[in-house]
Amino acid sequence: MSATTSRGCKRAAEDGEVPPAKRTRTRTHPQQDPHGDERVLAEAGETGRPAHGGRGPYGPTAPPPRAPSEDWSPIDPATVPRAIMRILSAANWRFVCDLALKHHPSGSDGTLTCTANLERVARGGFNMAIELSFSDGSFWVARISDGHELDHQTEMLSEIATMRLVATKTSIPVPQVYCYDHRQNNPFGFPYMLMSALPGRMLKGPLAFSVPKSFQPKIASQMADHIQQLSRITFSEIGQIWAGSELDEDPHIIPFPVCGEDIGPFNSSAAYFRGVQQKLDEALIEEYGDDPDWPQWLRLSKIQAEAIPLLVCPKLRRGPFPLWHRDFHFKNILVDDEYNITGVLDWTGARVAPWEDFAVYGDILTFAGNSDDENQPILNFRAALVAALRKVEGEQGCRLTPPLSDILASGHVDAVSAWAEVARTGEQASGHALHLLRLMYGAETTFDNYRGRQRKLSRRLVWH
């Protein structure tokens, strides 16, 4: 959903076969010292607060009532990506279990054991998670980078700094990181973070379909509260958060990666969209410059460029700008049986962003290829979220003009999402570009007629 989805940034395929997954168990003793040069943020329990920042009933010695891996996918070598299978085969799981025991509040007595569950995995775009279970019934999560070619140090430290800032400034439940190592050549074998396992379960699909209708106003109200809290963490520039290589500096803004190259920081939303567009175009030329269909790709790029002035809200272009999760949707939300939000996960790539991007949430976006009836549940949930946000703005005060709730209710959310999705390759790119054109100029617009017709901007994209 983000504006930095890249056209030309490909991940290299991994070669080779690996043996099937298994469980690894280890027990450590006080005299053992098997640990490397990992960075330690906090001993579990030493601060006296729950593992996710003091925002709920479960701490490291009062574990969640269920294993987090109950919602994760079984590991099947036939379907799991090779990069993940390589980690499962090559990583030093004894090391990571010993490390967890070193930092666990009950690990020093020599009786506690730790097991890495290599039978189930949770995975995102560039990371995977493995459950660590302790013999006292508690759980942690090992979050592992899968070897993609990114700056692991900057990426990981920015994410940790962001989660710490969110835990300090809001009541949003985020994982607590106990220790980490961003190096590829560390004793574990891959960049990793060991962090708390939050209570709750994962949802199986978009909120409009996976949450019962009777609970949708409740979860919409909680989302609105979290959105409002994030909106109050603001900076004067657009970029990713940084607190220094030792995480001991005040949070400030640094450049962020697009297609493997850093851009920014930016002091206006217009500069941000143009900067992202430039990097996407460079990737486009590199990948498709010699393609016989180059005119088609060039046309898509021109449509994106034409849309930028329509996406930017004149009253909000100079900020200050809010902290944006980027993927605050059902895949990264944990809930309990009463649909209370118990965790917000995966802050990888979170950054300070324009308000126009901040208002884009996957669970309120309709699908261009669906019928009105198929999209109606999403529109209903969107209306519930807008209503909840307006209530929060009324109770807590609204600092924006236009209000964030008005941006969510407008066509700009759909246009910004479509603008970002044009960055995808193949048939999807053309489909999203056509959707963007129709949002801009009306349902009758086509690739063939939009250049030659007298165009009138859709009222949905007029800022008020």
Q: Which tens digit of pLDDT belongs to each residue from 206-259?
A: 999 999 999 999 999 999 999 999 999 999 999 999 999 999 999 999 999 998
Please report the sign of the dihedral spanned by the C-alpha atoms of residue 258, residue 259, residue 262, residue 268: negative
pLDDT at 9 over 70: no
Place of tokens 């895949």: 331
User: Cα(353)–Cα(351) distance, rounded to whole angstroms?
Assistant: 6
Each residue's pLDDT tens digit, 259-308: 889 999 999 999 999 999 999 889 888 888 888 888 888 888 899 999 99
Average pLDDT, the chain: 84
Displacement of CA 198 from its chain's centroid (Å): 16
User: Cα(350)–Cα(333) distance, rounded to whole angstroms?
Assistant: 15
Task: Give the residues across from 134 on adjacent strands.
Answer: 114
Burial 267-279 (b: 16+ CB within 10 A, else e): bbbbbbbebbbeb
pLDDT at 450 over 90: no
Q: What Å distances lie between residue 341 and 96, 160, 393, CA to CA?
A: 29, 21, 20
- What order of strands is seen across the sheet that includes strand 351-352? 234-235, 321-324, 351-352
pLDDT band at 31, cuts 50/70/90? very low
Q: What is the dihedral of CA 263, 269, 271, 273, to 10 degrees?
A: 70
pLDDT band at 20, cuts 50/70/90? very low
CATH architecture of 207-461: Alpha-Beta Complex (3.90)
Displacement of CA 157 from its chain's centroid (Å): 15
- The domain segmentation of the chain, as residue ranges, is 24-199, 207-461
Classified by CATH at the fold level, domain 24-199 comes out as Phosphorylase Kinase; domain 1 (3.30.200)
Task: List, in sequence order, the alpha helices (H) in 91-231.
Answer: 93-103, 152-169, 207-210, 216-231
Place of tokens 């003009």: 401
For residue 293, the model assigns a pLDDT of 83
Please report, as a single letter, which amino acid is at residue 266.
F
Greater confidence, 148 or 168? 168
If DSSP codes are grouped into helix, strand and coil, which group holds residue 258?
Answer: strand
Greater confidence, 365 or 48? 365
- Compute the half-sphere exposure of residue 38: CA atoms within 13 Å on the CB side of its CA: 28
